[in-house]
């Protein structure tokens, strides 16, 4: 059942008479709207904590003209739609729709998938993943059917494998299927480095790559603050540092999500800002570099199969525009290849 936005207030006259013509006086000899005007539309699949944090951030940052929510629970998704609509006086003008049916997503520029099965007590990671594959078979085909030119942005976990699944199910070229990957991990990494050095996190350039998970790789060799390579600077100034401290910071990044979940039950706000940040770069063609999950085969000596994992990639209106040639040490390259192997091992056990 589709749940559209409430009727226009201009139809408040007797018998539903449209009052807009009486309320506003027409401009003489007005030209029609420009045919080049761009109307943007974002659809978010999954109205849970993550999906709604993304939707709310997209609205407050004025990133789209139309926002669509899709969820399998009718009352839940209608309630979320109404709650957002009632904030219209405090937000940029955005048309908000909600439905349990995918037809409402037609013509979307960007489809963000956050829906996923919950892990049951004692359930293996592989069984959970297979249930998510089954769920994606119900989500991805109708999305691409109604929006054949859209970009798919996958947020559901495990994000790297599910981005691969979405790519396979969609039939899209790989540049139009992106996983949120380690974009948030890298933000956490930048925050921790900035906290240690007492600087602004926006002045820190640092990437976490590979799997969004335990086998992720911190690219210490390319970290810079204010344009100054950190490790090279310390070595040139003969300032000692302990590798164990670097590993401790990386472990904090990996376990930070678990800490948030243990404290409040779920993560939402940080991933909401992270995904809205990606949406801005894509829809406004900002061509920024983000560590996101992309088809990695052939990059950084990654071979052995089609695997999605996070690499620093330039993204824009066309999706993934290219992968950055960041210099990696031999150790970092090997860890990245090991991360790819970890994902492939899990991926090869799936039935798609």
Reported as a single tens digit per residue, the pLDDT across 217-271 is 999 888 898 888 877 777 777 666 667 777 888 888 888 888 998 999 889 999 9
Closest residue by Cα to residue 43 from 76, 71, 19: 71
What percent of the chain has a predicted confidence (pLDDT) above 70?
88
213 assigned ligand-binding residue: no
128 vs 78: CA distance, rounded Å:
28
Q: Is the pLDDT reported for residue 105 higher than 80? A: yes
pLDDT digits (tens, 9 = 90+) for 150-176: 999 999 989 999 999 999 999 999 999
* pLDDT value of residue 227: 87
d(CA 163, CA 308): 7
Residue 160 marked in a binding site: no
DSSP for residue 118: P
Name every residue whose Cβ is closer than 8 Å to that of residue 218 and which is 6 or more positions away in sequence.
189, 206, 207, 208, 246, 249, 250, 253
Three-class DSSP category at 89: helix
Question: What is the CB neighbour count within 10 angstroms for residue 298?
Answer: 9
Across 317-336, average pLDDT: 93
Confidence class for position 25, pLDDT limits 50, 70, 90: low
Q: Is the pLDDT of residue 14 over 60?
A: no
Angstrom CA distances, 1 to 98, 115, 180, 187, stand at 9, 19, 30, 39
- On average, the pLDDT of the chain sits at 89
Q: How confident is the model at residue 5 (pLDDT cuts 50, 70, 90)?
A: very low
pTM of the model: 0.89
Percentage of residues in the chain having pLDDT higher than 90: 66
| 62 C-beta neighbours (distance < 10 Å), count | 12
**DSSP helix/strand/coil, 30:** coil
> What pLDDT is attached to residue 149?
96
The residues carrying an active-site annotation are 212
String of DSSP letters for 256-269: HHHHHHHHHSS--H
83-93 residue pLDDT tens:
999 999 999 99
Q: According to the annotation, is 132 in a ligand binding site?
A: yes
Query: Is residue 50 marked as binding?
Result: yes
When computed from its CA atoms, the radius of gyration of the chain, rounded to whole angstroms, is 22
Q: Binding site annotation covers 316?
A: no
Q: How far, in Å, are 136, 186, 249 from residue 245 at the CA level?
A: 40, 17, 6
Report the range of poorest mean pLDDT among 19-33, 88-102, 179-193. Answer: 19-33
Nearest to 324 by CA among 230, 211, 207: 207
pLDDT surpassing 90 at residue 100: yes
Has 155 been labeled as part of a binding site?
A: yes
Determine if residue 156 is labeled as part of a ligand binding site.
yes
């Amino acid at each position: 059942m589709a749940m559209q936005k409430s009727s226009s207030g201009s139809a408040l006259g007797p018998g539903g008479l449209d009052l807009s013509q009486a309320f506003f006086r027409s401009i003489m000899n007005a030209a029609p709207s420009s045919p080049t005007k761009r109307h943007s539309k974002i659809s978010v699949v999954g109205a849970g904590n993550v999906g709604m944090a993304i939707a709310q951030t997209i609205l407050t940052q004025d990133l789209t003209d139309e926002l669509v929510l899709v969820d399998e629970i009718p009352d839940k998704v209608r309630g979320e739609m109404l709650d957002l609509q009632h904030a219209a006086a405090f937000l940029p003008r955005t048309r908000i729709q909600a439905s349990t049916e995918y037809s409402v997503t037609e013509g979307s520029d960007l489809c963000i998938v956050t829906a996923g099965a919950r892990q049951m007590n004692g359930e293996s990671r592989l069984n959970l993943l297979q249930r998510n594959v089954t769920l994606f078979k119900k989500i991805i085909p109708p999305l691409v059917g109604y929006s054949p030119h859209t970009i798919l942005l996958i947020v559901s976990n495990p994000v790297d494998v599910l981005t691969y699944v979405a790519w396979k199910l969609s039939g899209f070229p790989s540049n139009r299927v992106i996983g949120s990957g380690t974009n948030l991990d890298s933000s956490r990494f930048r925050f921790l480095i900035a906290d240690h050095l007492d600087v602004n996190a926006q002045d820190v350039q640092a990437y976490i790559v590979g799997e969004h998970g335990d086998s992720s790789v911190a690219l210490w060799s390319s970290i810079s603050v204010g344009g100054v390579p950190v490790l090279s600077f310390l070595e040139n100034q003969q300032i000692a540092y302990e590798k164990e401290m670097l590993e401790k910071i990386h472990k904090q990044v990996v376990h930070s999500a678990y800490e948030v979940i243990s404290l409040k039950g779920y993560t939402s706000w940080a991933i909401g800002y992270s995904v809205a940040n990606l949406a801005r770069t894509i829809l406004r063609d900002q061509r920024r570099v983000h560590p996101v999950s992309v088809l990695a085969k052939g990059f950084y000596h990654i071979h052995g199969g089609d695997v999605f994992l996070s690499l620093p990639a330039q993204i824009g209106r066309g999706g993934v525009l290219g992968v950055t040639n960041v210099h990696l040490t031999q150790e970092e390259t090997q860890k990245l290849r090991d991360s790819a192997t970890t994902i492939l091992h899990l991926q090869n056990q799936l039935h798609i």
